[in-house]
Amino acid sequence: MSVILQTEKLRVEYRSRDFRQTTKVALVGLDLEVRAGEVFGFLGPNGAGKTTTMNVLLGFVPPTSGTARLFGIDVRQPIARQRIGYLPELTYYYKFLTAEELLRFYAKIFGLDCPEMDKRIANLLKLVELETAAKRPIKSYSKGMQQRVGLAQALINNPDLLVLDEPTSGLDPLGRMKVREIIQRLKNEGKTVFFSSHELGEVETVCDQVAIIHQGELKAVGSVSQISAGHRNLEQAFLNIVGFLPSPLLP
Amino acid sequence: MKKISALAGVVIKELYRRKDFYVLFVLTALLTFAAGAVNFFQDEKIIRYVKDVCLLLIWISSLVIAIVTTARQIPAEREARTIFPLLAKPVARGQVIAGKFLGCWLAAGIALVVFYFFFAVIASSREHTWPVAMYFQAAWMQWCLLAIVIALVLLGSIYFAAPSSTSTISFIIVAGIMLVGGHLNTIALSQPEPMQSVLAGVYYFIPHLEWYYLSDFVVYNMGCVPWIKVFGATLYAAAWTGIFLTLAWLGFRRKNLTT
């Protein structure tokens, strides 16, 4: 299987805005490889560097050193993002547009022609069950509906790689189940999914490969069974790897 | 070009779905009609006053629309974080700048067409003539000026995070150039060195927005400006717009958007 997402010795430093101008290291020499067709779970506690990694992969943050490639193309080239779909953690969309208008806008950005655009928009609205609300402004949607619009826009270009930043965060159990179903369906279609999550049960269910990052460093990478080996489950392995020692008072 | 026009389309949609645009538009229309209806001081040359007032209103309103709309584009995208799903698509930051510029410029152009239509109806109903070419030149030159202003504001919005600060600074710069810019070389002659060289330098360094104000031609029915001059002014506006957009792109190209 070909490598479609790759980082080599990726390092990101932020300069703080205080008068001392101290430097905060967000990523330390991160080496990652995601192969075609994998569902790759990217785990880590808050502030570990997951979002920074995604920000570099999507071209929002330039790396201080090292390289990041999508489909073999440097992520700083916009063309590297032609075959990816991105779902942010929260719903960052133009709220004055309707779902249909938003999808049409992104379809134009991907350069889709009109008949193809209409077909995909109709299919995606059906997939995320927003057909009846398609002509309402996004600002009138509930959080779950907005997240489903997000999923639809991430799929508008029929991407080969999906980058999902905590896709089930803040959703109710039904919403989570729907997102999991869609990830599973994409997996069955042979798509590659790279996603960050705090829901370890969910990761255990859908992921082929898992990476655990802590304080900007890659601590472990492998299949769920490899990571969980010697532990009760993935959660216990995760806590052990990130150095969390459970209190003896806890059951 | 498809990506740039898609981005411009969203800018225009946002503008006409916001209520502040309509408030300004209705206010200008009302003032224009009121100015057309009132006989100031029983002066027989009332039409000149009416035209002058109308043109001033058109100028102020179109500048407000252009500056306020442009100033919030990039900062609002960053604040609402809508810039992230957008830049996660195969769109270059230069295309984002170009799309924002095109959207704001076209929106300002639409507003200008509406404003000048009101103006032409009022002025022509009084004068019983339709100097279409002259009105076209006045509107065209104003649109060229708005291109420079929009590019300048877009550049400012890359560096100033708050739309209010960008708008205020832009209004001061535009007003300063319009009121003083054209006289700087004359003022320079009466100054001792090194102030004379500094003022002369500033005169040649700034974009001369005052060249685009054709109010006197329209108010006094002086006829059309030679078309070659209009063409030259258009090229001059294109050059300044290009400079400001390039600077905006250079600033935005490597900007870390997460901080």
Give chain B's contact residues with A (Cβ, < 8 Å).
2-3, 5-7, 9-10, 13-14, 17-18, 80-92, 95, 254, 256-259
Residue A247: predicted pLDDT: 47
- Is residue B259 situated within a structural domain? no
Angle made by CA atoms A111, A86, A146, in degrees to the nearest 5? 100
Q: How confident is the model at residue B36 (pLDDT cuts 50, 70, 90)?
A: low
- Is residue B62 situated within a structural domain? yes
User: Does residue B40 surpass a pLDDT of 60?
Assistant: no
- Nearest-10 crossing angle of helices B46-80, B132-159: 30
Q: How confident is the model at residue A19 (pLDDT cuts 50, 70, 90)?
A: low
Instruction: Please determine, for the modelled complex, whether the ipTM score is greater than 0.85.
Output: no
Residue B230: predicted pLDDT: 87
Answer with the residue of higher pLDDT: B127 or A184.
A184
Q: Which of B3, B13, B81 sits opposite A109 (nearest CB)?
A: B3
User: Does residue A217 surpass a pLDDT of 60?
Assistant: yes
Three-state secondary structure string covering B207-253:
CCHHHHCCHHHHHCCCCCCCHHHHHHHHHHHHHHHHHHHHHHHHHHH
Q: How confident is the model at residue A24 (pLDDT cuts 50, 70, 90)?
A: confident
Mean pLDDT of all residues in B25-43:
66
Mean pLDDT of all residues in B115-133:
78
- Is residue B90 situated within a structural domain? yes
- Cβ(A149)–Cβ(A128) under 8 Å? yes
pLDDT tens across B163-201, in order?
888 888 888 888 888 887 777 777 777 777 887 788 777
Q: How far B240 CA lies from chain A's nearest CA (Å)?
A: 27
User: Does residue A115 surpass a pLDDT of 70?
Assistant: yes
pLDDT tens across B56-95, in order?
888 888 888 889 889 888 888 888 888 888 888 888 889 9
Residue B87 to residue A58, Cβ atoms within 8 A:
yes
Q: How far B63 CA lies from chain A's nearest CA (Å)?
A: 24
- Is residue B220 situated within a structural domain? yes
- Is residue B258 situated within a structural domain? no
Q: What is this structure's pTM?
A: 0.82
- Is residue B157 situated within a structural domain? yes
Q: How far B88 CA lies from chain A's nearest CA (Å)?
A: 5
Q: How confident is the model at residue A249 (pLDDT cuts 50, 70, 90)?
A: very low
pLDDT tens across A25-46, in order?
888 888 888 888 888 888 888 8
pLDDT tens across A117-135, in order?
888 898 888 888 888 888 8
Residue B98: predicted pLDDT: 94
- Is residue B237 situated within a structural domain? yes
Quickly list DSSP for B47-58: HHHHHHHHHHHH
- Cβ(B107)–Cβ(B69) under 8 Å? yes
Q: How confident is the model at residue A141 (pLDDT cuts 50, 70, 90)?
A: confident
Give chain A's contact residues with B (Cβ, < 8 Å).
14, 17, 52, 55, 58-62, 78-82, 84, 86, 88, 90, 92-97, 101, 105-106, 108-111, 150, 153, 157, 163
Q: Which of A171, A200, A1 is nearest to A87 (CA)?
A: A171
**What domain count does chain B have?**
1
Q: Can you read off the two tokens belonging to residue A142? A: 């509930």
Which positions in chain B touch A81 (Cβ < 8 Å)? Answer: 88-90
Note down the domain range covering B23: 2-253
Mean pLDDT of all residues in A87-107:
86
Percent of chain A at pLDDT exceeding 70: 94
Lowest mean pLDDT among A52-66, A215-229, B19-33, B137-151: B19-33
Residue B71: predicted pLDDT: 87
pLDDT tens across A163-172, in order?
888 877 777 7
